[in-house]
Structure 1
Amino acid sequence: MDTSEDGRLIRAPRSWFQARVRTATILCASAALAAAAIPASAQSPRAVSAPAEPLVVVDCFSQSQVRPEEYLLACGDGNNRLVGLKWDTWGPKTATAKGTDMVNDCVPYCAAGRFRSYPVTVTLSSPEPWPGHPDVDRFTTIRLLYTDTAPAPVPKDVTYKLVY
């Protein structure tokens, strides 16, 4: 524990991961505040002839990403994150990357658990229009194919629906 200039106790983040989640949350909130401060008349409307936005994947903070290096899978508790993603393809129907799935083993419980790494091939698919974002499609399915072992009790080949 540290103390601030006025003598209050400041609790340091418990881990590198928690610090990253806290930083991402603060940055997203700051960006939202900055966007809200721009008057509607100052924002430029999308031209009718402008090309459509690229296909995106939407993260836990409702932010669009193209070829992200990291992707949080467990939005509620942060206990599962894809890292070191290297994208082989990012096409109109699918996107494929290789990387590492960092999963908290939650032994003896999640707050005291250790993050374990699992090599994985990631495939994004099933693009659909992103509600509230005209001309933007987002991937709605993620497939994880573990190239070595998978975290118990997850199968080596698993597909999830992306609901963000």
Structure 2
Amino acid sequence: MGTHPIRAAVILGAAGALAASLGTASAAPSAQTVPRQQPPDPVLVDCAWQPEVRPEAFLIACGDGNSRLAALDWERWDAQAAVARGVNVVNDCDPYCAAGTFHEYDVIVRLDRPDTWEREPDLAHFTRMSLTYTDARPEGFPSTVDYPLWD
């Protein structure tokens, strides 16, 4: 303890008391440190009624398969909206759908209007999909198309 044994003993004692009190205080739970559980981000409900998050592909036309999204690259997916770039693969149904040709169109996909999913009330799902064609688009389509999504 060197030439000042009393001063050293007082410092060591104070340090020990401080450490003990901090250990007791940090062991007690605090309302500020208890994490709140955040609800999961909304899902996209597919044709088979399965919840999806950031899917690589999505079937728009469940009945006949004549419109689908592919190569989806999600830039955003949160509680308010989801945004991806991808390709809309659409059948031109010329001369009729079974004999038609599928064409690819670059799109920006936006999902929004989250709401409670009736089938799974603990989950929210997006209720609207907007496709914005960034170059060519199917004949007769506007540059942006909105689709209501099923529940």
Greater Rg over alpha carbons, structure: 2
The within-5 A match list for 1:8-157 is 51-157=38-144
Segments of 5+ residues of structure 1 without an aligned counterpart are 1-48
| Residues in 2 aligned to 1:51 and 1:79: alpha-carbon distance in whole angstroms | 38
| Residues in 1 aligned to 2:119 and 2:46: alpha-carbon distance in whole angstroms | 15
Q: CA deviation at 1:132?
A: 2.7
**1:42-79 CA distances to partner (integer Å, 9 max, x unpaired)?**
xxxxxxx8653331000111100000000100011000
Q: Secondary structure of 2:121's partner?
A: coil
Supply the AA of the counterpart residue of 1:70.
A
Q: Secondary structure of 1:111's partner?
A: helix
Q: Secondary structure of 2:86's partner?
A: strand
The answer to whether the 8 Å contact 2:83/2:110 transfers is yes
Segments of 5+ residues of structure 2 without an aligned counterpart are 1-35
Using the size of structure 1 for normalisation, the TM-score is 0.68
Aligned length: 116
| Residues in 1 aligned to 2:133 and 2:121: alpha-carbon distance in whole angstroms | 35
**1:65-117 CA distances to partner (integer Å, 9 max, x unpaired)?**
00000010001100000000000000110100000000001111110111000
Identity %: 47
Using the size of structure 2 for normalisation, the TM-score is 0.73
